[in-house]
Structure 1
Amino acid sequence: MSLDRHFVRSVELSTIRTRYPRTVGRNARLGSHGSGGESDIVVIRTDTGKVGWGLVAGDVPAEQVTGRSVAGLIDPGSGVRHEELRGLDFALHDLVGQIEDLPVHALLGGHGQRTVPCYDGAIYFADLDPDDGPRGVPAVLADCAADDAAGYRAFKLKIGRGNRWMDRAAGDARDIEVTRAVREAYPDHRILVDANDGYDCTGFLKYLRAVTDCGLYWVEEPFLDGAADLARLRSHLRDAGSATLIAEGETDPELETLLEIAGRGDIDVLLMDVVSFGLTSWRAVMPRIAELGVRASPHAWGLPLKTLYAAQLAAGLGHVDTVEGVPGETIGVDTSGYLWRDGELTVPDRPGFGLSLQSGK
C-alpha cells in the first residue's frame, strides 16, 4: 500500500445530527432517549487531497497527527498503531479506504457477507408514556407497526419495567404482556429481548417460563453479569430445549471475563459497542471469538451511523449474524450506498465506509 506517501494536512472536528422518526422512551435503567441529537465527528485531510472521516471514538490528538504519514498512524492489517490514536479509529479506516480505493469491509478481510440481517433496536417503553395518561401496550404495537412498515423484520423489545418504573410484579407482568402481544401480532418476525440488567436471575427465569412459547431469538443483559447466574440461565434454556441465545457485553465489558464465560458455553453473542470498544479492538478480538465458536453483534444503539459501521464490520470480519438497527436519519451524510430491503442491510463497495459528508461539513 502507498500510505507512506500521504501526510496528514489537517484534523478537523465537526458535528452531525441524528433524527429519529419518533421520541424513543425509557428502558429499565434510563429515562427518555429523546428524538435524536448531535455527535462529534473528525475529518482528516491529507496533502494529496484524500479525506477520511468518522465518529469520534475518544480523544483526538490533532497536534500529534498533523504532518505525519498515514502509514505511521494505521496498519491496514490490524488498525490504529497506538492507543492514543483510538479517537481517530473510524476516520483513519475510512481514509485508508479512500487512498486505496477499497471499502472498509475489504480492508477487514471480507470474511463475512455484504448483506446482513438487521433488527429494530427502538422498541422501548412507549406504553408508559405520557406520565399523565400512559398509552399501554397498544403504543408498543404502534411502534412495531411503524418500524415494520419501514422494513424491519425483527424487533428487540426492551423489558425490565419493574426495575424502576413500575411495581416489580406489575412491571414483570407488563413485560410478559408486551412480549406475547408482539409475538401474536408478528408471528413470523424474529423477537429479541433486552432487560438492561433490570432483573435478577430468579425473576428473569420466571419471565422466560411465561414466554417460553414465543421463540425468543436472544436474551440480552438480563441481569448484572455474573458467571454463576449466566450458567444458571444456560442450564434453564438447555433443560427447556430452547434455542434462545444469551447475549452479553454491552455495559462496561470486562473482556477477559466475558471470553472466559463464553468459553464455558454460557454466552453465545458478544455485544461490545462498535464505537466505544472500537474497530481496532474488534479486529484484535474477533479471532478469539471465532476460536471459541461464539458470535458477535456490536452494540450500535443511538446512531444510525453506528449501524452502518457494524454492518461493515460484519461483512469484513465475519462471525456476525445480525446487527442492531437504529431507525432514523443522519442529517448531512449521504448514506445512499447502503441498501436496506426487507430486514437486511447491504454494504456498498464504495471506498472507505461509503459515506460522504454533504456541503458544509
Structure 2
Amino acid sequence: MPDPVITAVDLHRLPTRYPRTVGRNARLGSHGSGGESAVAVLRTDTGQVGWGLTEGTGGDPRTVVGRPLSELVDPATGVRDLDHAWLDIALHDLLGVVHDLPVHALLGSRGATTVEVYDGAIYFDDLDPEDSPVGAAVAVENCRADTALGHRSFKLKIGRGNRWMSRADGDKRDVLITRSVREAFPEAKVLVDANDGYDLDGFRRYLDQVADCDLYWVEEPFLDDADDLATLRRHLDAVSPTTRIAEGETSPDVDALLPVAAAGHIDVLLMDVMSYGLTRWRALMPELERIGTVASPHAWGRPLKTLYAAQMAAGLGNVEVVEGVPGTTDLVDDTAYQFADGHLTVPDRPGFGLPVPQL
C-alpha cells in the first residue's frame, strides 16, 4: 500500500448549531445553541486528505508533519503514540482514504451498518428562562420536535434537586417528566441520566416511583462506588429488572470500572468517542465482550461525534445504541449518512465518508 507523508496539519473551528438552545443538567448551566467544533485537516504528499474533530487543547502539529502515515497509525490497532491521540479521528479518516475503505471496515465490520440512535438533547429546559420558567410540559414538546427530526428514543436528564431546585421539588419534577415522556411515547426507549446528581437512597426512591416506566437504562445516577452500584443492581432486579446501569462518561477510571462491570453491576460503558478515542476503544472492546458488557460511546456536544460513534458501532460491534446530537456543523456535508425512524446508516465510503470542508 502507498505510505503518504504528512505535509501539513491545518486547524480550523467550525460553528455547530443545535435546533434549539439546550438547557442545564444536574451539574452544569445552559449548554447553549451549539458553539464551535475544532477540526484538523491532514494533507499529504500524495494529495490524499483526512480530517476530523480534535479534542481538548490538541497537540503540536510539528510532531506529525514530515512523517509517513505508517509511523503514526497502525491499521490493526489505531494511533501508535497516544501523544497523537488528539488526531485519532483525522488519522483514521486518512487511513480509510488511503486504503479506500470506510472506517467501520478498518475496525473489522463486526456490527451492523444501521445503528439505533437515541436523542440525547432532553435537558432541563423546563427551568428556563429563569425569571419565568416554561415548566415541565416542555420536555414532551422537545421530544415531539426531535421526533420530527427522526428520533424515536429519548434520554432525559434528571437530577434537578442536585443544584437547581430543592431536593424534594427537584426529585418530584424528575418523576413527573419521566412519567410524562413515557405516557406520550409508550413505544419509545426512555433512558435517564442523572450526571451523578443523586445519592443511592434518593435514586432508589426515584426508581420506585417510575418502576413501571420500563427505563432502558439509568446513567451515572451517583458518584462511582462499587458497593452502591451493586446495591442499585439488586434494587433494579426487584423493581425494574430489564433496566441497565450505564457508567463511565465523567472522568472514568476504566480499570476500576471493569471489575464492577464483570460482576454484573455495570451493563454499559460510556467513555467518550473523542476524549477516550477510537484507539483506546479498539483495545478495550474485546475485554468488554469477554465480560459481557456492552459499549455506547458518549457523543454529546457535537453532531459529528454521533457519526463517529456509529462508525465505531458498525466496526467494532458490541454497541446496541449510540447517542444522537441533533444539529448541524457548518460547511460539513453529512448527507451520505441516512437517518430515519431512530436509526442511522453509515455510508460505504472511504474514511468517515465526509467530504473535506471547503475552509
Tell me the TM-score normalised to structure 2 length: 0.98
Contact map agreement 1:118 1:154 (CA 8 A) in 2? yes
Equivalent position of 1:57 in the other structure: 55
Alpha-carbon distance in structure 2 between the residues aligned to 1:172 and 1:43: 46
- After alignment, is 9-18 or 187-196 more displaced? 9-18
2:5 alignment counterpart:
7
How far the C-alpha of 1:357 sits from its partner, in A, is 2.9
- What residue in structure 2 maps to residue 324 of structure 1? 323
Contact 1:57 1:278 in 2 (8 A): no
Of 293-302 and 59-68, deviating more is 59-68
Contact 2:211 2:240 in 1 (8 A): no
Counterpart residue number, 1:277: 276
| CA distance in structure 2 between the partners assigned to 1:335 and 1:194 by the alignment | 28
CA distance in 2, matches of 1:64, 1:134: 50
Q: TM-score, normalised by structure 1?
A: 0.98
Match of 1:46 in 2: 44
Indicate the SS of the match to 2:34.
strand
- For 1:87 and 1:329, the matched residues in 2 are separated by 22
User: Distance between the aligned counterparts of 1:135 and 1:15, measured in 2?
Assistant: 33
* SS of residue matched to 1:233: helix
8 Å CA contact 1:307–1:325 kept in 2: the answer is: yes
Residue identity matched to 2:42: I
Between the aligned partners of 2:340 and 2:37, the Cα distance in structure 1 is 27
Once residues 273 and 83 of structure 1 are traced to their aligned partners in structure 2, the CA distance between those partners, rounded to angstroms, is 16
Please state how far the C-alpha of 1:140 moved relative to its aligned partner.
1.1
Asked if 1:178 is matched to 2:181, the reply is no
RMSD across aligned positions (CA): 0.9
CA contact (8 A) 1:3 1:69 kept: no
**In 2, Cα distance between equivalents of 1:262 and 1:124:** 27
Which deviates the most, 60-69 or 32-41?
Answer: 60-69
Counterpart secondary structure, 2:15: strand
State percent identity of aligned pairs.
Answer: 61
Normalized per residue, which structure has more strand?
Answer: 1
Deviation at 1:3, TM superposition (A): 4.4
Mapped pair 1:338 → 2:337: yes
In the TM superposition, what whole-angstrom CA distance separates every residue of 1:305-351 from its partner, at most 9, and x where no partner exists?
A: 00000000000000000000001111111101100010000000010
Question: Structure 2: how far apart are the matches of 1:27 and 1:241?
Answer: 24
Paired residue total: 358
**SS of structure 2 residue aligned to 1:118:** strand
Runs of at least 5 residues in structure 2 that lack an aligned partner in the other structure: none
Give 1:241 deviation, angstroms.
5.1
Q: Distance between the aligned counterparts of 2:79 and 2:180, measured in 1?
A: 46
* Aligned residues of 2:17 and 2:35 also touching (Cα < 8 A): yes
**Counterpart residue identity of residue 255, structure 1:** V
Gaps of 5+ in 1: none
Does the residue aligned with 1:345 lie in a helix, a strand or coil? strand
Match of 2:29 in 1: 31
Distance 1:137 1:161, change over 3 A: same
SS in 2 for 1:177: helix
Deviations 1:250-277 (A, max 9, x none): 0000011111100110000000000000
